[in-house]
């Protein structure tokens, strides 16, 4: 899979992340979204954070980790995590699945088979493809009614015109270039079919990069490549291959990323966990994140005349 080359170590510092949240919150205040009292509270909180830097600990150098290794290590806990993307995925994707006429469907980057099961439940003949052996092992056990193959998003192990529809959920963030996948999707699909894509939008305001820190099965910790693609990136990749847009949906974060009863706690050693950091600056976090795009979903139809 042609992931973005990222063979360099990145440096993640908990204080830097918190100061970044304060900066975004202050920028939104400067634009008029928040008042003088909010601005002064943020500046005071920045001073306090600088004084308490030792409590947050030092920054950590995080080496790169191959994406497949990260997902092989993630597979054992993937389904049981409190992952906010899953309910957003299901809430957005479920009604989109209803538009698919019964047929043969490819679940591209099927992971542990959650979406595969939804497709099987709707009467489709499903083949799931993933490049993580550990994910595929779990999918085969979870969804015995589907067939699973090891393969790559940009080199799908299916003949041309083999499926009626393609679904790809929470995976394209790991591609630096969307065009090879869209070309492959168009190749394996039959004209008139739908390509449903759901993708994450990233967490790091101002940067298209979206590194995820994971651990491989042999215990190596590192960051796997991710990026937030612009809406135009999907269109530029899809339209030349005969796809037309039938729908596009975005899901946005609410006003309370940090709930009133969330309390700051000592941080887990190692690379910073941003979800542990958020309660340290709840007002800044909520201001910085409010209304941020979280996931985007596309319904592309492959034109019959292609």
| pLDDT digits 0-9 by tens, 43-98 | 999 999 999 999 999 999 999 999 999 999 999 998 877 776 777 778 889 899 99
- How much is the pLDDT for 279? 97
- How much is the pLDDT for 306? 57
Strand partners, 293: 252
Do residues 243 and 195 lie in contact, with contact meaning Cβ atoms separated by under 8 Å?
yes
Residue 1: pLDDT above 70? no
Instruction: Determine the Cα–Cα distance for residues 98 and 101; give it in Å rounded to an integer.
Output: 8
- How much is the pLDDT for 297? 95
Indicate the pTM of the whole model: 0.92
Give 83's contacts (C-beta < 8 A, 6+ positions apart).
none
**pLDDT tens digits, 115-131:** 999 999 999 999 999 99
**pLDDT tens digits, 200-254:** 888 888 899 989 999 999 999 999 989 999 999 999 999 999 999 999 999 888 8
Listed by start position, the domains of the chain span: 65-253+294-302
Question: Of 188, 189, 129, 132, which Cα lies nearest the Cα of 153?
Answer: 129
**pLDDT tens digits, 254-298:** 889 999 999 999 899 889 999 999 999 999 999 999 999 889 999
Instruction: Determine the Cα–Cα distance for residues 53 and 68; give it in Å rounded to an integer.
Output: 35
CB burial string 237-270: b at 16+ within 10 A, e below: bbeebbbeeeeeeebebeeebbeeeeeeeeeeee
Beta strands 293-302 and 194-200 are: antiparallel
Do residues 301 and 192 lie in contact, with contact meaning Cβ atoms separated by under 8 Å?
yes
- How much is the pLDDT for 203? 82
**pLDDT tens digits, 146-190:** 999 999 999 999 999 999 999 999 999 999 999 999 999 999 999
Band the pLDDT of 139: cuts 50, 70, 90: very high
Domain 65-253+294-302: CATH superfamily is Vaccinia Virus protein VP39 (3.40.50.150)
Question: Which residue's structure tokens are 């995590």?
Answer: 81
Do residues 196 and 299 lie in contact, with contact meaning Cβ atoms separated by under 8 Å?
yes
């Amino acid at each position: 899979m042609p992931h973005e080359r990222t063979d360099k170590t990145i440096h993640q510092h908990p204080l830097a992340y918190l100061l970044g949240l304060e900066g975004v919150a202050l920028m939104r205040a400067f634009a008029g979204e928040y008042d003088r009292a909010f601005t002064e509270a943020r500046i005071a909180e920045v001073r306090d954070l600088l004084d308490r830097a030792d409590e947050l600990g030092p920054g950590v150098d995080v080496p790169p980790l191959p994406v497949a290794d990260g997902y092989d290590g993630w597979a054992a806990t993937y389904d049981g995590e409190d992952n906010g993307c899953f309910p957003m995925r299901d809430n957005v994707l479920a009604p989109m699945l209803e538009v698919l006429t019964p047929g043969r469907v490819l679940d591209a980057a099927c992971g542990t088979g959650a979406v595969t099961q939804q497709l099987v439940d709707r009467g489709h003949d499903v083949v799931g493809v993933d490049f993580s052996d550990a994910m595929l092992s779990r999918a085969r056990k979870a969804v015995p009614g589907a067939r699973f193959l090891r393969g790559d998003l940009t080199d799908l192990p299916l003949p041309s015109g083999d499926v009626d529809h393609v679904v790809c959920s929470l995976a394209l963030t790991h591609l630096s270039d969307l065009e090879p996948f869209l070309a492959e999707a168009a190749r394996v699909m039959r004209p008139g079919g739908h390509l449903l894509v759901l993708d994450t939008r990233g967490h790091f305001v101002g940067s298209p990069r979206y590194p995820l820190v994971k651990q491989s099965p042999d215990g190596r910790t590192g960051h796997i490549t991710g990026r937030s693609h612009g809406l135009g990136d999907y269109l530029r990749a899809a339209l030349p291959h005969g796809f037309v847009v039938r729908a596009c949906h975005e899901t946005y974060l609410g006003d309370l990323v940090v709930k009133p009863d969330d309390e700051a706690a000592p941080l887990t050693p190692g690379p910073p966990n941003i979800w542990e950091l958020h309660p340290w600056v709840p007002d800044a976090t909520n201001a910085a994140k409010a209304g941020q795009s979280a996931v985007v979903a596309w319904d592309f139809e492959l034109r019959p005349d292609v």
